[in-house]
Structure 1
Amino acid sequence: MSDLERDPREITCPPTDGHGAPEMLEPRLVPLGGPRSMTVRRTLPQRLRSLIGAWCFVDHYGPDDVSETGGMAVPGHPHTGLQTVTWLFTGEVDHVDTVGTTRRVRPGEVNLMTSGRGIAHSEYSTPETTILHGVQLWTALPDAARFTGRAFENHVTEPVQHGPATVRTFVGSFAGSTSPVTTYTPLVGAEIVMPAGAEARFDLDPAYEHGVLVDLGPVDVDGLTVAPAALAYRPLGETTLALRTGDSPGRVLLLGGEPLDEEIVMWWNFLGRDHDEIVRFREEWQAQVHGGTDSDAYGPFPEAWGSAVLPAPELPRTRLMSRKQPPR
């Protein structure tokens, strides 16, 4: 999914002590598109925290009545220096990219796209979709891998039982299951579904920091009640995760990884290392949109797109700053 904000805000992360009860990250509402746009709930990045491991972007949307909002309609747009991870609960989305991929994204399947130096894709909810519900996630590629080749992977996950919980691991390894999709830093991503009145405890890798995004709930996360759409952060050193549901079923996403100890600059759909690099990425995208000399920086545009591509917004008049993390 593209970040369609015309004026992305500079974010300064204040320090936190990293101990005690889970740190709560509340979502902010972001419209995607025009007046009948679908609204997403964004918990990363934000002022309090920009990264959890290499996870750098979390958009949570739905259940969205497509007849009222028009659903997801994101024309061709670029990415650099990151991987996109699409995970659906309900509905379907058609993905088309400049690797030559045409793929229908379905619930229970992870779709991972590696931008490398540059890629472009479009995302539209399908005509058959009535309710759209899911998440769009980005992970930052480390400096050593961020110019790797562009690629797309799809993997159908298999559910595993962990006590009363049903787990689908879509990135990395968790609760006895492993996803084969390619990652460039140690990461985990898993969906956990629990019936009402249930409790489950999971082992965590203490070398990872983790976030628990609640979709259905509320859910008690290590003693803290977390409402739907909020994300609870767990720092390095934690070895267990305790989840408990109340009178209603719960569904959460667990996102984690080893801290990415690199400074990144993220603006619109570009992820780089400094202001000048973002300027260059934007110039190359604009040249390709307008048929300039550097017309293949992001891969050849699919014929199906026609002229349906998103030009980049204007850059702010100040230099873009790297996103800082709270001290650990």
Structure 2
Amino acid sequence: MSNLEVRPAERICTPGGAAAPDRPGDLQILEPRDVPLGGPRAMNVRRTLPQRARSLVGAWCFLDLYGPDDVAASAGMQVPPHPHTGLQTVSWLFEGEVLHRDSVGSVATIRPGELNLMTAGRGIAHSEQSPVERPPRLHGVQLWIALPGELRHRPPEFAHYGDLPVLDVGAARVRVLVGELAGTRSPATVHSPLVGAQIDLPRGGRAVLPVDPAFEHAVLVVAGSVRIEGEPVAPSSLAFLPLGHTEIALDADGPDDDALLLLIGGAPFGEEIVMWWNFVARSHDEIVAARAQWQAEVRAPGGRAAGPDRSAAGGAGIDERFGRVEGYDGPPLPAPELPNLRLRPRA
């Protein structure tokens, strides 16, 4: 999904947080902020990464939770073609369907229990839409994974995984999206030591997840009344746990509702990154160059510089980087204006 904010902030993301956890058991609660995507009538999301208190969890650098939204009488999700660099996008649904198209020629409809994993590398463009025939509700998450420096200029690619492994831990049913958990490994290809998993915990249920002590972890409460390591965590909030934990205790203590959770984690990402709009880079200059290239391709004849062969446009004289999204009925999304400042990494 695109970051559709009209004034996205440039942000330096560094390993570690701005403040030490202030709760018993070194648990840090990261509260969400509401972000309207695309204007006053747009879909609202609850964003927990990045924020001032914490930029990254492992290589996970972006986390939006959206829905559940009624899309029966509306157009649902309609995100025009837009670019990405330097990251992998992880698209995961709890309800509904989303149709993905991209500039390497991929067309895939994602449904609950399936994973869309797009590796932007040097540059890719994609669109996301609610299909014409669709379930009435849409509920999901969009996450980004920062690519390590040596891989951030690699060719782009896309993969869809429809059969992900499931295991039972205590009362919980756990589906492993990426990485490995409790000896169960996802087939999805990622480029950093990571884990991502959906956890379904029935009301009154308890699970103690074995986790890698070399990872930092965070648990997003999607729905339900939950205690994490004994601490109550509200829906849409993210509970962060630093290195050293060998297990995470989860309790669904609500009288009526089952709990739905998302676990993310990974080895600390040892690189400083710069994020702006849909780009993950290492410097302000890289962001400026990526934006300029996207705008040049958007303004080329036909709205794109070239097709999925990633060659230059005939006669246009434009070195195409992001490519054309075939099959989307509408123009691509222009980039917002850059802020009038130069972002410099903090010490």
TM-score (normalised: structure 2): 0.89
Equivalent runs, 1:228-243 vs 2, <5 Å:
228-243=235-250
2:292 counterpart of 1:280: no
1:323–1:8 distance in 2 versus 1, CA, 3 Å: farther
Answer yes or no: is the 8 Å Cα contact 1:264–1:323 preserved in 2.
Answer: no
Alignment RMSD (CA, Å):
1.7
State the distance in 2 between where 1:135 and 1:34 align.
20
Secondary structure of the residue aligned to 2:90 is strand
Q: Which amino acid aligns with 2:202?
A: P
Rounded to whole Å, the distance in 1 between the matches of 2:210 and 2:38 is 40
CA distance in 1, matches of 2:127, 2:73: 21
From 123, 127, 132, the equivalent of 1:122 is 127
Q: Equivalents in 1 of 2:181, 2:68: separation in Å?
A: 26
**Structure 1 length normalisation: TM-score?**
0.94
1:247-258 alignment to 2 at 5 Å?
Answer: 247=255, 248-258=257-267
Runs of 5+ consecutive residues of structure 1 not aligned to the other structure:
none
Residue deviations 1:213-237 (CA, integer Å, cap 9, x gap):
0011221101111111000000011
Name which of 332, 335, 338 aligns with 1:312.
Answer: 335
**CA distance, structure 2, for counterparts of residue 9 and residue 278 of structure 1:** 12
The Cα offsets for residues 27-60 of structure 1, whole Å up to 9 and x where unpaired, read as 1111122332111110001111110000000000
User: Which letter does structure 2 place at the counterpart of 1:208?
Assistant: F
Q: Does 157-166 or 310-319 show the bigger shift?
A: 157-166
Measured in 1, the distance between the counterparts of 2:121 and 2:335 equals 19
Equivalent residues in 2 for 1:130-169, closer than 5 Å: 130-156=136-162, 157-169=164-176
User: Offset at 1:307?
Assistant: 4.2
Q: Do structure 1's residue 66 and structure 2's residue 66 form an aligned pair?
A: no
Cα distance in structure 1, aligned partners of 2:138 and 2:103? 25
Contact 2:297 2:318 in 1 (8 A): yes
Residues matched between the structures, number: 323
Counterpart contact for 1:167–1:175, Cα < 8 Å = no
Q: Which amino acid is 1:35 matched to?
A: P
- Residue identity over aligned pairs, in percent, reads 54
Amino acid at match of 2:142: Q
How far off is 1:18 after superposition? 4.6
**In the alignment, is the contact (CA less than 8 A) between 1:10 and 1:321 conserved in 2?**
no
Q: Which residue of 1 aligns with 2:219?
A: 212
Distance 1:32 1:194 in 2: 30
3-state SS, counterpart of residue 304 of structure 1: coil
Question: By how many angstroms is 1:163 displaced?
Answer: 2.1
